[in-house]
Amino acid sequence: MEKLVLMKNPFLKDVFEHADFVWTRPETINEIAFDSKPLIENHILMCGDTAGMITPLCGNGMAMAFHAAKILSDIIISGCDKGFDNQSRTQLEQAYQQQWQKQFGLRLRTGRYIQRFFGSEILSEAVIGGLKYFPALTRYLVKQTHGSTI
Ligand SMILES: Cc1cc2nc3c(=O)[nH]c(=O)nc-3n(C[C@H](O)[C@H](O)[C@H](O)COP(=O)(O)OP(=O)(O)OC[C@H]3O[C@@H](n4cnc5c(N)ncnc54)[C@H](O)[C@@H]3O)c2cc1C
């Protein structure tokens, strides 16, 4: 694909021919699972990709990781201010679960749902071709996968 498609672009061709690559093989997303994951496991608080990965079609994985880190750090700092015991630890976990779900739950679910339409070439073409005639629906779907600024 690099030779047949990407290198048709002279700028990318220059990069591929002259850059020092970090890995011998390219890192691609086809081996990555986008299934839902537990947010908290054995009291370990997950954040960023460990909490759940948004499908590449929706993008924004980096922004989501930053956003989740901000939510979690705010909760931990306020927990530290109050002092920790078993009860406050449970409250901290519940607060994180609630805020994370509110911020990312629907976005990840929508992303997974949309991604299902892009498994086969025919279905992908049909969906993209069809959505062209419904720009308001397209905007609505994109909005469901993107958050707002903090
Ligand atoms: C091919 C690809 C393309 C992508 N393209 C985009 C894009 O265009 N835009 C976008 O927004 N997002 C993109 N993403 C998603 C984005 O990269 C991630 O959502 C984001 O980096 C998640 O941040 P994170 O901090 O959770 O995890 P990471 O960025 O993966 O950071 C985790 C870090 O922990 C380190 N680590 C792992 N195990 C250990 C250990 N045991 N001890 C110490 N350190 C450890 C790793 O080395 C790594 O540095 C892409 C992802 C892939 C794979």
pLDDT in tens, 89-145: 899 999 999 999 999 998 888 888 888 888 788 998 999 899 999 999 999 988 888
Q: Is residue 41 part of a domain?
A: yes
Residue 98 lies in a domain: yes
8 in any annotated domain: no
- Number of structural domains found in the chain: 1
What residue ranges line ligand 1, CB within 6 angstroms?
27-29, 32, 48-49, 59-63, 65
Is 1 a member of any domain?
no
Answer whether residue 4 is part of any domain. no
Compare 58 and 65 and report the one with higher pLDDT: 65
* 138 within some domain: yes
Which pTM was predicted?
A: 0.81
- Nearest ligand 1 atom, CA 61: 19
Q: Look at residue 150 in the predicted model and tell me its pLDDT.
A: 58
DSSP secondary structure letters along the chain: -TTTTGGGSHHHHHHHHH---SSSS---GGG-------SEETTEEP-GGGT----TTT--HHHHHHHHHHHHHHHHHHHHHH---HHHHHHHHHHHHHHHIIIIIHHHHHHHHHHGGGSSHHHHHHHHHHHTT-HHHHHHHHHHH-----
pLDDT of residue 149 exceeding 90, the answer is no
Question: 122: domain range?
Answer: 36-145
